[in-house]
Amino acid sequence: TTTQESPTAAGSGANASENFKASASSQEIADTPPERVAAIVTDVLKGVHDAIAKHDVSYPEFQAAKAWLMAVGEGGEWPLFMDVFVEHAVEAQVAASQQGTKGSILGPYFLPDQVRLGSTCKLPRRDDEKGTPLVLSGQVRDLDGTPLGGAEVDIWHADADGYYSGFAPHVPEGNLRGVVVTDDEGRFAIETVQPAPYQIPTDGPTGQLIGAAGWHPWRPAHLHIQVRAEGHRPITTQLYFAGGEWLDSDVAEATKPELIIDPQDDGTGIRRSTYDFVLESA
How far out from the chain centre does Cα 148 lie?
Answer: 24
**Residue 179 binds: one of Fe ion, ligand MBD, none (C-beta under 5 to 8 A by kind):** none
- Looking at the Cβ atoms of 111 and 148, the one nearer to ligand MBD is 111
Smallest gap, in angstroms, from Cβ of residue 224 to Fe ion? 6
Angle between helices 78-85 and 59-74 (to 10 degrees): 110
- CA-based nearest residue to 4, from 160, 131, 173: 160
Q: Measured between alpha carbons, how far is 61 from 67 in angstroms, rounded to an integer?
A: 10
Q: Lay out the site mask for Fe ion across 104-133 (x = CB under 5 A, - = otherwise).
A: ---x--------------------------
Q: Which of residues 62-101 bind ligand MBD (CB under 6 A)?
A: 80, 83-84
Q: Which of residues 219-238 bind ligand MBD (CB under 6 A)?
A: 219
- Looking at the Cβ atoms of 78 and 109, the one nearer to ligand MBD is 109
Q: Lay out the site mask for ligand MBD across 178-197 (x = CB under 6 A, - = otherwise).
A: --------------------
- CA-based nearest residue to 176, from 219, 220, 246, 224: 224
Smallest gap, in angstroms, from Cβ of residue 226 to Fe ion? 12
The contacts of residue 260 (CB under 8 Å, 6+ apart) are: 239, 240, 241, 242, 247
- Looking at the Cβ atoms of 77 and 142, the one nearer to Fe ion is 77
Q: Lay out the site mask for ligand MBD across 132-161 (x = CB under 6 A, - = otherwise).
A: ------------------------------
Q: Is 108 in the site for ligand MBD (CB under 6 A)?
A: yes
**Residue 84 binds: one of Fe ion, ligand MBD, none (C-beta under 5 to 8 A by kind):** ligand MBD
Burial category of 97 from C-beta neighbours within 10 Å (exposed 0-12, middle 13-18, buried 19 and up):
exposed
Distance set, CA 37 to CA 20, 33, 43, 81, 119 (Å): 22, 6, 10, 21, 44
How many residues at the interface with ligand MBD, by CB under 6 A? 11
Given 109, 110, 156, 163, the residue binding ligand MBD (CB under 6 A): 109
Distance set, CA 222 to CA 2, 111, 113, 218, 256 (Å): 18, 16, 21, 11, 12
- Looking at the Cβ atoms of 141 and 219, the one nearer to ligand MBD is 219
Query: What is the amino acid identity at position 189?
Result: A
Smallest gap, in angstroms, from Cβ of residue 164 to Fe ion? 7
Q: Measured between alpha carbons, how far is 7 from 201 in angstroms, rounded to an integer?
A: 9
Summarize as ranges the residues that interact with Fe ion (CB under 5 A): 107
Summarize as ranges the residues that interact with ligand MBD (CB under 6 A): 80, 83-84, 105, 107-109, 198, 219, 252, 254
